[in-house]
Amino acid sequence: MGQRHQVFLIARLVPHGSTTGQAYYRCIVAHHHQWCYGTLPLKGTRRFLALLKNENNAEIIRDEIRRAQGVYGRNVKGTADERGPLMPLMPCPYALFLLTQAWDCDVGDVKDSYASGAGLDSGALSPNMPSFGGDNNDGITIIDVTDPADPAYCFVSSPGSGPIDMKGYAGCYYDLKEEDDSLEPVEDYVLEAVRALEGVRVITSGMLAEAWPREYKANAGVTKATSSNSTGNAASELQAEVDLVPSLVELSISPAVERSLSTEDTSELEEMVWQPGKSELIKKVLMATNPFPDNGISLLVKILEHEFNSSNGNRFILNLSSFPSLSSEQILRVINTLSSTYPSIKSLNLSGNQNIYASTVAEVLKAIPGLLRLILLNTGIPDDDLLDLMSASPALFYHLHDLVHPAFLRSTSIQSQLSRDHQSSSLEALHPAYRHGLTAIFDAKTVASVPFFNPEQLIRAVTRQLTVLTSTENEDPFFSSSYGQGGLGPALALSAGTTIMPAQRDERGKEVFEPVVVVDGGDDWYSRTVASIPRSHSLDCFMGVGWMFFLNLPQFGMGSMDYAFIKPDQERLDNYIKEKSNSDSGSGPSPASDSMFLPAQVFKLHSIREFAKEMEKEGRPAPSEESIADFEAALGADDLTLESDESLVAKMQAGSQGAASAAMEMMRKFKVVKMMDEAQFMVLKRNCEIQFPMMLHMNLGSLVFTM
């Protein structure tokens, strides 16, 4: 049952063992959606493209594509690359995670919220499959992410047909001919979905034939990439050709830089930095210098100061990824020099640098204690080294919002938890660093864990989820049920990243020297930063590993929602350990629980304000009063009548004049989140311990058909 649709991401990759370096299109991500038709594929595409426009997200996808180069075969039968290594289920896990969020969930507008699907693992398909190799009723969507800054898309309605654009796909369901007065006018939401994709390039049949040559021919359907800005694209290409020809000024800059560095006197160049156009030219020369000379640091600092003070500069973001030859010591010199003049640096990018270590990260966080974002893609820092640092020095990371590193962008594929014969599964054991992190559990069966968290960021991200669940503007009585079934809630909250916006000006036009810090997209959820992929196969939290945020969702929209922040109480834990020790030695009775997990009685439940106080006790930055108040407001209406559920049901059944208001009051009662009590937690914890491993086995069964 369903209206099944698959969506694929393609990119140009150099095949494994290539002797020419030629890149070819192939599928890198495949996702299944059970109910996707009409405008839903258009909306899912729009949401995904909006995420790509955020450079914080785009740079992670670019890094995944970089790491995939030369690793896999083309998966094309009858070619020299046919026997190349096949892709695992999630070769580009972040791209899949981003796509799944865009396709299965929309909480950007409380009036039109949407949730579907069955989670990241359940929806993942093999990227080695044919484009119409899945169970399909309503066509497929394909998106080219080779260059995330210039994506392309298409739809294919049925096997054997070619690529069509948004109008072609929508035309399969709606009559878009505006000149036909005899037909009912097309609903505005359809036209809006169509218009949202105007100007985006359309994938050609040749691109599809390169990715799936057994299914497509280069002359089928759309044969030329199109967009509403083809003239502008041509002009840009012409300008790019012109830019390749160096000017006389450019030719003279390189020798001047080399001469200054050799004489260890860069003062003249430091003055030139402030001349129009000179800073960028000098920067290009320094970018290519390897190893980076110590006497060039002063010149580099001047260039960075010039960028900070330019009209389009952002003095809160320090990007050193263009200088990958900097040593750890040189990076710290740059940071210490700049931070004395620009103390509000909130984001640092060290991607591409193979000269840095986990110890560099520690020194950076000490030098900029207010840092919110640290980007470490394509560096020489091993995953375990970074996690070991977190475990040994957790306080270094208390202020940080986002740490973008492959250690936190790993596949969640259940393949990693399987034995070779695919007959057993096990819970994931988390790194000890997660003792200082948090696990979110929604509906007692969907789990996400992170090794560190910022209380302010966490509360704001969770608040958005609660706001959508409790809003009476969303009239879907079963939204909370579909939201819980979709399984993305915990991961949505814990992957929510932060965007650092340029300085604004106050009402008098004076520049404000504090950045705009936007968590989870702020007012524009569609453009949010997604900073990580939380782990999703562990119940180590029930062993006392880190904090928990527990949210109970009603089945089929009927019943109350309940929340709590939870952690073992030290006194209760000590007593339990003492009882267990006495039992093991034979000197006392056995404690109640014989489970691998701690008993529910060991844990203590906290409200939002109690949680905030606990954060201060732990030495973490306290969440703002504003974020706490917003969280409390998102818990739902606090002016409900004291009328019992039985009384309200009786009124609805009687069909009296008060039936409608009784029904509305009942709906409002179901859209309120209450504080969970210990008896509820005991039941929910036990349910989770039973249901969660069962769900892993269910995913295991479906995985056999996608490998």
pLDDT digits (tens, 9 = 90+) for 490-528: 999 999 999 998 766 555 655 666 789 999 999 999 999
Mean pLDDT value of segment 534-556: 92
Question: What's the confidence (pLDDT) of residue 706?
Answer: 44
Out of 128-137, 251-260, 372-381, 407-416, the most confident range is 372-381
Q: Both tokens of residue 447? A: 């789990």
DSSP letter for each residue of 585-597: HTSSPPPS--SSS
Name the residue with higher pLDDT: 254 or 24.
24
Distance of CA 260 to the CA centre of its chain: 45
Tokens of residue 121, six digits: 């693992």
Q: 269, 293 in Cβ contact below 8 A?
A: no
Nearest CA to 118 out of 443, 628, 368, 484 is that of 484
* 42-59 tens-digit pLDDT: 999 999 999 999 999 999
Residue 434 has pLDDT above 70, yes or no: yes
Task: Tell me the DSSP string of 124-176.
Answer: EE-TTS-TT-S--SS-EEEEE-SSTTS-EEEEE-STT---B-HHHHHTTTS--
Q: Strand (E) positions, 42-149?
A: 105-106, 114-115, 124-125, 140-144
- CA diameter of the chain: 94
Q: Are strands 402-404 and 124-125 parallel, antiparallel or unpaired?
A: unpaired
User: 222 pLDDT exceeds 90?
Assistant: no
State how far the Cα of 599 lies from the Cα of 593, in Å rounded to an integer: 6
Confidence of residue 637 (pLDDT cuts 50, 70, 90): low
Q: Tell me the pLDDT of the chain averaged across its residues.
A: 85
Kindly state the tokens that stand for 376.
């470490």
**pLDDT value of position 183:** 46
**CB-based burial of residue 575 (10 Å sphere; 0-12 exposed, 13-18 middle, 19+ buried)?**
middle
Q: Please, which pLDDT band fits residue 558 given cuts at 50, 70 and 90?
A: low
pLDDT at 220 over 90: no
Backbone angles phi, psi at 568, to 5 degrees: -60, 135
Question: Which range (41-55, 242-256, 527-541) has the least confidence?
Answer: 242-256
The more confidently predicted of residues 83 and 371 is 371
Q: Which residue in the block uniquely carries the two structure tokens 């095949």?
A: 15
User: Tokens representing 345?
Assistant: 């640096």
Least confident of 32-41, 227-236, 410-419: 227-236
Give residue-wise pLDDT tens across range 57-93. 999 999 999 999 999 998 776 565 566 799 999 999 9
Kindly tell me the sign of the dihedral angle through the C-alpha atoms of 524, 530, 531, 533.
Answer: positive
What radius of gyration, in Å, describes the C-alpha atoms of the chain? 28
Name every residue whose Cβ is closer than 8 Å to that of residue 48 and which is 6 or more positions away in sequence: 98, 99, 102, 103, 143
pLDDT in the model for residue 294: 94
Strand-pairing partners, residue 566, are 548, 605
pLDDT at 480: 84
pLDDT for res 246: 53
Q: Please tell me the pTM assigned to this model.
A: 0.89
Q: Amino acid letter at 14?
A: V
**Least-confidence region, from 290-294, 663-667, 700-704:** 700-704
Structure-token pair, residue 333: 């010199």
Determine contact, residues 46/199, Cβ cutoff 8 Å: no
Per-residue pLDDT at 301 exceeds 50: yes
Distance CA 201, CA 143 (A): 10
pLDDT digits (tens, 9 = 90+) for 192-209: 999 999 999 999 999 999
Q: Give, rounded to a whole angstrom, the gap between the first and last alpha carbons of the chain.
A: 23
Distances in Å between the Cα of 308 and the Cα atoms of 109, 211, 301 are 35, 43, 10
What is the token pair recorded at 404?
Answer: 């973008």
- pLDDT at position 232 over 50: no
Q: Which two tokens stand for residue 57?
A: 């997200």
Distance in angstroms (rounded) separating the CA atoms of residues 413 and 399 = 30
pLDDT of residue 705: 41
Residues with Cβ within 8 Å of residue 107, at least 6 apart in sequence:
113, 115, 464, 465, 468, 492, 525
341 and 468 in contact (C-beta within 8 Å)? no
Q: Which two tokens stand for residue 8?
A: 């694929």
Per-residue model confidence (pLDDT) at position 181: 54
**Closest to 492 (Cα-Cα) out of 118, 112, 98, 116:** 98
Domains of the chain: 5-228 (no CATH), 241-408 (3.80.10), 414-496+531-636+671-703 (no CATH)
Please calculate the CA angle 76-34-539 and round it to the nearest 5 degrees: 95
Instruction: Classify the C-alpha dihedral 594-424-384-386 as positive or negative.
Output: negative
Q: Which residue has the tokens 């990759």?
A: 13
pLDDT at 486: 87
207 compared with 315, residue with greater pLDDT = 207
Q: What is the pLDDT of residue 400?
A: 98
Is the model's pLDDT at 671 over the cut of 90?
Answer: no
At residue 162, what is the residue type? G
Within 10 angstroms of residue 82's Cβ, the number of other Cβ atoms is: 12
Interval 111-131 mean pLDDT: 90
Whether the bond into 623 is cis, omega within 30 of 0: no
Q: What is the model's pLDDT at position 176?
A: 80
Inter-residue contact 102 to 183 (CB < 8 Å): no
- Give the pLDDT score at 570: 93
Residue 199: the pLDDT is 96
Q: Evaluate whether 403 touches 452 at the Cβ level (below 8 Å).
A: yes
157-161, 300-304, 652-656: lowest mean pLDDT where?
652-656
Quick one: CA torsion of 684, 605, 440, 500, rounded to 10 degrees?
A: 160
Confidence of residue 539 (pLDDT cuts 50, 70, 90): very high
123, 54 contact by CB (below 8 A): no
pLDDT in tens, 693-702: 877 766 654 5
What pLDDT, on the 0 to 100 scale, is given for residue 197? 96
- Say how far apart CA 393 and CA 436 lie, in whole Å: 10
CA dihedral for 410, 415, 418, 421, sign (positive or negative): negative
pLDDT > 90 in the chain, percent: 61
> Would you state the pLDDT for residue 200?
97
